[in-house]
Structure 1
Amino acid sequence: MTPLAQYVAGFLFTPDKTRVVLMRKHRADPDARLFNGVGGKIGLDELPKTAMSRVFKEETGVAIPAKEWMALARLESYAFQVYFYVAVSELAQEIQGKGEDEVGIFAVKDLFAGPVVPSVRWLVPLAFDSRVRFPVIFDGTP
């Protein structure tokens, strides 16, 4: 049996929670050219939270320690798992993309009209909903 592909994606918010860091990858897939959380693949024998910290620094140049990432949700299908995380830091203002992908900070209020992956429109508001117990697990396995 082939192991599931595992990924992380994180949303770094400013302390007032009005702005969020997002990334647009330049690749050929259904979500190409749309903004999403900053993320990537989980390494072999790497914990998801550790991967989140590593990937975020690789993509943005800003180090957010693993202990500061809060589990938000896990999305599962028959082929993959994505672990979503949230962090809040003044360092969000210092984001500068590295490499070929585009990284920036965006007003949360503008996400619903912007070119974002559809799940961002419900994951971002979910992050600060006090009625929800985290992490939320969405299992799409048949």
Structure 2
Amino acid sequence: MKKYVTGFLFSQDTNQIVLIKKINPQWQRGLFNGIGGKVEANETSIDAMVRECAEETGVITQPVDWQYFANVFRPNGYDVDLYFARTDLALSAKTMEAEEIHIMKVSAIPKNIIPNLQWLIPLALDNQADFSTPVFIKEIAQERLKA
């Protein structure tokens, strides 16, 4: 099973968010997603988040900048650790790779986003949530969805 990280980089006031317009994988093409990617061998999840942020946005962060708030797991599919950071460094994010970086108002996130971001982004912004124990979401396997 592949391990991934996805992070939501917000401005300090949480009015802006950095999202990536995806090219790959094919099923994500044209959709917006958070910053992230695969956790490499011998790399911790938080170290992958810091690395992916720097590689994709040019924004240099530290592990302490990121809050681990949720895990989305699909049996026989993927295991994704989700993070968020609140820093005005978000406003300096720029496209570093083939996939374009977009800084946008949280109130104006487009409809063409990865479907679960519709509720994961508001969850990350919930100031009343205690993420000392991250939220664990086990998704239904595709086979069960077809039944």
Aligned residue in 2 for 1:103: 101
1:21–1:104 Cα contact (<8 Å) kept: yes
TM-score normalised per structure 2: 0.88
1:125 matches 2:122: yes
What residue ranges of structure 1 are gaps of 5+ in the alignment? none
1:59–1:98 Cα contact (<8 Å) kept: yes
1:76–1:141 Cα contact (<8 Å) kept: no
1:13 matches 2:1: no
Distance of 2:32 and 2:139 partners within structure 1: 23
Return 46-55 or 116-125, whichever deviates more.
116-125
Aligned residue in 1 for 2:84: 86
Aligned residue in 1 for 2:135: 136
Number of matched residues? Answer: 138
Q: For residues 97-119 of structure 1, give each alpha carbon's deviation from its aligned partner in whole angstroms, at most 9, with x where no partner exists.
A: 111111111111112x4321111
Distance of 1:107 and 1:59 partners within structure 2: 19
1:72 matches 2:76: no
What is the letter of the counterpart of residue 67 of structure 1? V
CA change 1:130–1:91 in 2 (3 A) is closer
CA positional deviation for 1:58: 0.5
Point out the structure with the larger helix share: 2
CA change 1:103–1:5 in 2 (3 A) is same
What is the letter of the counterpart of residue 135 of structure 2? V
Distance of 1:126 and 1:82 partners within structure 2: 15
Question: SS in structure 2 opposite 1:81?
Answer: strand
Root-mean-square deviation over aligned CA pairs = 1.4
Deviating 4+ runs (over 3 angstroms): none
Aligned residue in 2 for 1:115: 112
CA change 1:87–1:28 in 2 (3 A) is closer
What residue ranges of structure 2 are gaps of 5+ in the alignment? 142-147
